[in-house]
C-alpha cells in the first residue's frame, strides 16, 4: 500500500491518476534504457537482431502503457477530455522513442507491398510484436499485483478480469477498425515528407480523433498486436470474432489504403496528365485577322 500523504498536497486530484502516470513514466524510461543498451551492445555485431529486440521492447512499451490507460478509462478515473489528452501525449512520446520500430503488424505488412523481398524481416517483426503483446499484458499484471494504488488493488481483487471492447456487431466492428486503419495509413502516407518531430504530433492527433470516433464501438485499437494484448483474453466475444474485428478489419484497411494511394491514385494522376497533354496538343491556336 502506498503512503496517501505523498499525494495529499494535490487538491482536487485523484491519487490513482498520479500513480498511473508514474507507472507510465517508469515503463517508458525503462524501455528507453533497454533500447539504448541494445543499440550499444548488439548494433555493431548483429543489426538484424538489434532491430528485432528494439521492435519487441517498443511494442512492449506500447501495450503496457495502453493497458494502464485502459484501466483508467474503464474505471472512470479520467473523463473523455483527459483520456484523449493522455492518448495524445503518450502517442507523441511513443513516436519520439520507438527508434524506428513499427509496433503494428499492419505497418509491417505494408512493407511487403513496398518491398516484396522483405518477407523474412517482416515475419521476424510480426513474431516480435505478438510476443511483446503477450509480455505487455503479463508485465502490467505483475505491476498491478504490487497494489501501488487503490485502482490496482481493486483490479487485483477481481483477478484482472476484463470485458470485450466490442460494443457493436462483429461486422460493424470490423468496419470501424477497417475505416480507422485506412484513415491512419492514408494520413501517414501523406506526412512522410515531414520531419519526425513534427509528424508525431499529426499522427498523435489523428489517433486521438480516431479513438474518439471509434473507441465507444471497438476500443479503436487500430493495431492487431495491441488488440491481441488488450482484448483477446477478455470475456464477451469468441476468439474468431476478435480475429475478424481486430485482425481482418485493420489488415483490409491497410490493403485498401495501399492500393488506393500507391497504385490507383498514381495511375489516375498519370491518365489525367495524359488527357491534359492531349487536349493541349489538339487545342486549335487562336488566330487573329
pLDDT, tens only, 174-207: 999 999 999 999 999 888 888 888 999 999 999 9
pLDDT digits (tens, 9 = 90+) for 49-103: 999 999 999 999 999 999 999 999 999 899 999 999 999 999 999 999 999 999 9
- Report yes or no: 256 and 175 within 8 Å, Cβ to Cβ: no
**Can you tell me which residue has the cell 470474432?**
241
pTM: 0.87
Alpha-carbon gap, residue 170 to 241, rounded angstroms: 6
Distance CA 157, CA 141 (A): 12
Helix-strand-coil split of the chain, %, nearest 5: 75, 0, 25
Amino acid at each position: 500500500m502506498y503512503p496517501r500523504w505523498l499525494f495529499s498536497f494535490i487538491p482536487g486530484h485523484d491519487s490513482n491518476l498520479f500513480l498511473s502516470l508514474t507507472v507510465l513514466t517508469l515503463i517508458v524510461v525503462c524501455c528507453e534504457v533497454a533500447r539504448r543498451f541494445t543499440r550499444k551492445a548488439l548494433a555493431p555485431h548483429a543489426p538484424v537482431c538489434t532491430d528485432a529486440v528494439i521492435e519487441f521492447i517498443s511494442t512492449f512499451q506500447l501495450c503496457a502503457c495502453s493497458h494502464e490507460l485502459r484501466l483508467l478509462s474503464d474505471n472512470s478515473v479520467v473523463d473523455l477530455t483527459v483520456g484523449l489528452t493522455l492518448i495524445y501525449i503518450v502517442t507523441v512520446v511513443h513516436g519520439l522513442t520507438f527508434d524506428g520500430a513499427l509496433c503494428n503488424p499492419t505497418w509491417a505488412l505494408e512493407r511487403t507491398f513496398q518491398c516484396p523481398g522483405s518477407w523474412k524481416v517482416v515475419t521476424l517483426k510480426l513474431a516480435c510484436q505478438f510476443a511483446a503483446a503477450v509480455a505487455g499484458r503479463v508485465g502490467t499484471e505483475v505491476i498491478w499485483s504490487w497494489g501501488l494504488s487503490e485502482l490496482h488493488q481493486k483490479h487485483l481483487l477481481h483477478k484482472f478480469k476484463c470485458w470485450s471492447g466490442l460494443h457493436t456487431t462483429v461486422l460493424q466492428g470490423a468496419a470501424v477498425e477497417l475505416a480507422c486503419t485506412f484513415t491512419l495509413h492514408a494520413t501517414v502516407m501523406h506526412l512522410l515528407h515531414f520531419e519526425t518531430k513534427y509528424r508525431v504530433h499529426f499522427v498523435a492527433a489523428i489517433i486521438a480523433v480516431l479513438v474518439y470516433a471509434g473507441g465507444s464501438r471497438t476500443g479503436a485499437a487500430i493495431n492487431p498486436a495491441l488488440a491481441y494484448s488488450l482484448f483477446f483474453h477478455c470475456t464477451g466475444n469468441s476468439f474468431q470474432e476478435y480475429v475478424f474485428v481486430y485482425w481482418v478489419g485493420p489488415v483490409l484497411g491497410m490493403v485498401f489504403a495501399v492500393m488506393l494511394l500507391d497504385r490507383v491514385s498514381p495511375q489516375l494522376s498519370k491518365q489525367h496528365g495524359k488527357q491534359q497533354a492531349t487536349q493541349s496538343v489538339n487545342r486549335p491556336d487562336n488566330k487573329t485577322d
